[in-house]
Structure 1
């Protein structure tokens, strides 16, 4: 991974974590009068890091069909989230619906993030294709 790509990924992790934390905190305050404790904030950060890191593996999986790549990335991310929950169960008591809650919460946020990521990727590819066409056109015109 290049230095610029790593910087971009870290920026996306930070921005995504901020949006997710603010959004879920606001939602909890409006509807449940809940408060985030440190372990909840840490879990959100870990899940955000997992999701962004998994989405950034797409160049390694380009040989697969797009659907296979997306499903494999989601399954891998979900397994890492479940592993995180399992590890955290050694340090604190978990609610009996912890896995289902994490599954539903993570899936919703992951789908939104994946859509944003792949739409952005599609826009970048289209932009690069237009630049390539412009270069080819200018080279053909200069040859004549």
Structure 2
């Protein structure tokens, strides 16, 4: 199996799992009349969307130093998570330590995801630089 095919397959699995998980939880919530499990799952999904979306803003922030970019992304992500909690507080009661719990949980997972994202990005840049050097070396041989 090729690397591109494997990536495609993993993407389809991820999307399918998300749709199935959200769908079955919503279905169970409608049947049982309790949406607590669905609310938790939906919050996790929203946090995932926030984290991935924020990490993918890096091309728009490249003029900043890497540290400033990473900190700005993290702060923006946390603000969006807190906004999500605040909005959900109009529909359900938030535990007294809900904001802190979300901060702790989201920060740990976000750091792991950001490290994976930026390491992957770094590896891609190194691969492109190596390819560019090979192309330049080939052109130098022609002259």
Could you tell me the TM-score, scaled by structure 1's length?
0.76
Q: Counterpart in 1 of 2:29?
A: none
Runs of 4+ more than 2 Å apart: none
- Give the alignment's Cα RMSD to 1 decimal: 2.1
Count of paired positions = 116
Task: Work out which of the two has the higher radius of gyration on C-alpha atoms and give 1 or 2.
Answer: 2
Residue in 2 aligned with 1:58?
A: 58
Residues 1:90 and 2:90 aligned together? yes
Q: Deviations over 1:86-140 (max 9, x none)?
A: 0000000110000000000000000000000000000000000000000000000
Q: What does residue range 41-120 of structure 1 map to in structure 2 within 5 Å?
A: 41-120=41-120
Unaligned runs of 5+ in 2: 1-7, 22-35
Corresponding position: 1:124 with 2:117: no
TM-score by length of 2: 0.76
